[in-house]
Amino acid sequence: MIVTAYVLAGVIAAGIIYIGITYLLTPEKAAATFGLPVLPAGSTAFFRIKGDRDVASGLALGAAMLAGSPQVVGWIVLAESFAAFSDMLIVLRYRGKRALAFGVHGATGLVMVAIALTLVLA
């Protein structure tokens, strides 16, 4: 069970890094898939800031996986699930696409919590 949770945590880390790189390279295209109904014009720099933070979050999780115990990795995954749930609430607050809010951001947060609990309780 721990091996599966570690693999899933690695998938989450790689996914966060991929999303971050996408925001760095093609910020407008990436932002269009976030779920918000309107994107501010001329906000490329802001989207790139999101991208570099996503890459950093993924790298931090990856580093913890290399150096930490399952419990440490679990706590980090749990802490990082805050971003997924926050994204969901932001999309809902600004009347974005509910399917993306719940189906992508919310579901990602729930998967992260399940992974975290598996590792923390190992």
In single-letter form, the type of residue at position 10 comes to G
CA dist., res. 47 & res. 80, Å (int):
19
User: What is the residue range of 31's domain?
Assistant: 2-120
Tokens describing residue 79: 């802490």
Asked if residue 40 has pLDDT above 90, the reply is no
Considering its fold, how many domains does the chain have in total? 1
State residue 58's pLDDT score.
96
Q: What is the pTM of this model?
A: 0.88
Residues in CB range of 23: below 8 A, 6 or more apart: 30, 31, 47, 48, 50, 51, 54
68, two tokens: 């930490």
The two structure tokens encoding residue 8: 């899933």
Q: What pLDDT is recorded for position 66?
A: 94
Region 19-24: what's the mean pLDDT? 94
Q: Mean pLDDT over residues 21-48, rounded? A: 85
